[in-house]
């Protein structure tokens, strides 16, 4: 991939809202979604975001995003150039659909979902809570850790989730009990959508990984922290995770994010990746500078507040390494498969990507402003709380690229 005219910060669109410096979707972004007009029973359509509008691609013969994801990157770049030319200032205007008059579904058909654990600061912080004497397991710095999640419970932003029930074993109890989780948490992640897949038994090299990456979405892998420690040994996450995963309706393409590549480095003294996960080209630009935020609004608050801010640059394993390792044993990835990064926390306390870290396992409540001025506190989420993630990439000389909303509200358990 390379930077080209579609990244030119001076390029404007005939869509006025796309020229607003604060928009998530300038002409240089062009993210994909699946939508239909509110209140209609029409089929879901593939769309492209531009400012506060959507370009319907059904007239372009694009009716399923998975088919587009399966195409080679050169064809996807050609489509990006065509979209750019259609929407740039001076081009003939075409009909658009206001985002405010649209409803969204998952952007594509998600066949499989794998959640990785690439945030080493999160891994260490959680490890200290669950295993004080051994916070970082010995394989973490050698192999990209992941587990297979549940694709059927992935929902689009704005979908409410029920508080789950599960087995919980209090520290002083002799036996577990089955009850609603009292420790519902968020996880600040990005999700990588697979583009062209690989045949069963046919892995690919680290320098081929970019060909298999289609784009990124915001991802919140909701967690029941009181269920998790009791069930996760020895096989890892299960019911504490699979009750719901929220993603943004938008997929930001890897082409749009090309200007925000940064070198992939490891701290001095840490083991370097094994050869199948390493190359000079990978070290030169496999990481990305993408800001990520957690926002919370309780029923007593007038406006949401930002709880934390992190960056994808803190990931210990790259997107390319996630893809390459996943397929290294011959596993066949398919267009539309989703790979979560795992919680991306930074080294500072205010960069924590989960409430578990922000509250030190529930020991240090967060104080929040309320409409009546009295304030309130949270350790984990209560019923009615709205949790939102935001992300954007920006640097001098390029337009800000946003990811749209990734919001969810917790409803009472049945």
How confident is the model over 204-252, as pLDDT tens digits? 999 999 999 999 999 999 999 999 999 988 888 999 999 999 999 999 9
* pLDDT tens digits for range 55-98: 999 999 999 999 999 999 999 999 999 999 999 999 999 999 99
Phi, psi of 340 (to 5 degrees): -80, 145
Residue 1's pLDDT is what? Answer: 60
Measure Cα distances from 92 to 14, 26, 63, 88, 124 in Å: 9, 18, 23, 9, 54
Q: Nearest 5 degrees, angle CA 392-CA 395-CA 104?
A: 20
Residue 171's pLDDT is what? Answer: 87
pTM: 0.97
Residue 2's pLDDT is what? Answer: 86
* pLDDT tens digits for range 163-179: 999 999 988 999 999 99
CA distance 148 to 164: 19
Residue 233's pLDDT is what? Answer: 84
Q: Are 333 and 137 in contact (CB under 8 A)?
A: no
**Strand pairing category for 291-297 and 305-311:** antiparallel
> Across-strand partners of 223?
185
Q: For residues 388-398, give the mean pLDDT.
A: 97
Q: For residues 25-49, give the mean pLDDT.
A: 97
Residue 129's pLDDT is what? Answer: 85
Catalytic residues: 122
Q: Is the pLDDT of residue 305 over 80?
A: yes
CA distance 241 to 249: 20
CA distance 187 to 221: 5
Q: Is the pLDDT of residue 286 over 70?
A: yes
> What is the number of alpha carbons within 13 Å of residue 21 lying toward its C-beta?
6
Give the chain's mean pLDDT: 97
Q: Is the pLDDT of residue 150 over 70?
A: yes
Residues with Cβ within 8 Å of 149's Cβ and at least 6 positions away in sequence, in order, are 113, 114, 115, 221, 237, 241, 242, 245, 340
* pLDDT tens digits for range 325-381: 999 999 999 999 999 999 999 999 999 999 999 999 999 999 999 999 999 999 999
Residue 133's pLDDT is what? Answer: 83
Total Cβ atoms within 10 A of residue 177:
10
Per-residue confidence band for 22, with pLDDT thresholds at 50, 70 and 90: very high
Residue 95's pLDDT is what? Answer: 97
């Amino acid at each position: 991939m390379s930077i080209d005219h579609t990244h030119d910060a001076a390029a404007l669109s005939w869509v006025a809202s796309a020229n607003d410096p604060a928009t998530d979707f300038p002409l240089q972004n062009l993210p994909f979604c699946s939508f239909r007009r509110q209140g209609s029973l029409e089929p879901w359509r593939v769309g492209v975001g531009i400012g506060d509008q959507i370009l319907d691609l059904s007239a372009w013969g694009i009716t399923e995003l998975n088919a587009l994801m399966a195409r080679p990157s050169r064809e996807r770049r050609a489509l990006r150039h065509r979209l750019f030319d259609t929407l740039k200032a001076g081009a003939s205007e075409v009909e658009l659909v206001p985002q405010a008059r649209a409803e969204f579904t998952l952007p594509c058909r998600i066949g499989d979902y794998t959640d990785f654990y690439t945030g080493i600061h999160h891994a260490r912080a959680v490890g200290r809570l669950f295993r004080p004497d051994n916070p970082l397991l010995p394989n973490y710095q050698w192999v990209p850790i992941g587990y297979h999640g549940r694709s059927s419970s992935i929902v689009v932003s704005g979908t409410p989730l029920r508080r789950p029930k599960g087995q919980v074993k209090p520290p002083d109890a002799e036996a577990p009990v089955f009850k609603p989780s009292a420790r519902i948490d968020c996880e600040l992640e990005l999700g990588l959508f697979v583009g062209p897949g690989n045949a069963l038994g046919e892995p690919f090299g680290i320098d081929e990984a970019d060909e298999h990456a289609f784009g990124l979405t915001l991802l919140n892998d909701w967690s029941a922290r009181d269920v998790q420690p009791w069930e996760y040994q020895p096989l890892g996450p299960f019911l504490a995770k699979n009750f719901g995963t929220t993603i943004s309706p938008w997929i930001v393409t890897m082409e749009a994010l090309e200007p925000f590549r940064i070198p992939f480095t490891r701290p001095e003294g840490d083991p370097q990746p094994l050869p199948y996960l390493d190359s000079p080209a990978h070290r030169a630009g496999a990481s990305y500078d993408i800001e990520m935020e957690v926002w919370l609004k309780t029923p007593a608050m007038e406006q949401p507040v930002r709880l934390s801010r992190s960056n994808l640059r803190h990931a210990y394993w790259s997107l390319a390494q996630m893809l390459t390792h996943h397929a290294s044993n011959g596993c066949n990835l398919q267009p539309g498969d989703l790979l979560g990064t795992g919680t991306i926390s930074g080294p500072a306390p205010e960069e924590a990507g989960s409430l578990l870290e922000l509250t030190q396992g529930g020991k240090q409540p967060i104080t929040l402003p309320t409409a009546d001025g009295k304030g309130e506190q949270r350790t984990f989420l209560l019923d009615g709380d709205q949790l939102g993630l935001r992300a954007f990439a920006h640097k001098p000389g390029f337009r800000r690229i946003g990811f749209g909303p990734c919001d969810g509200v917790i409803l009472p358990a049945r």
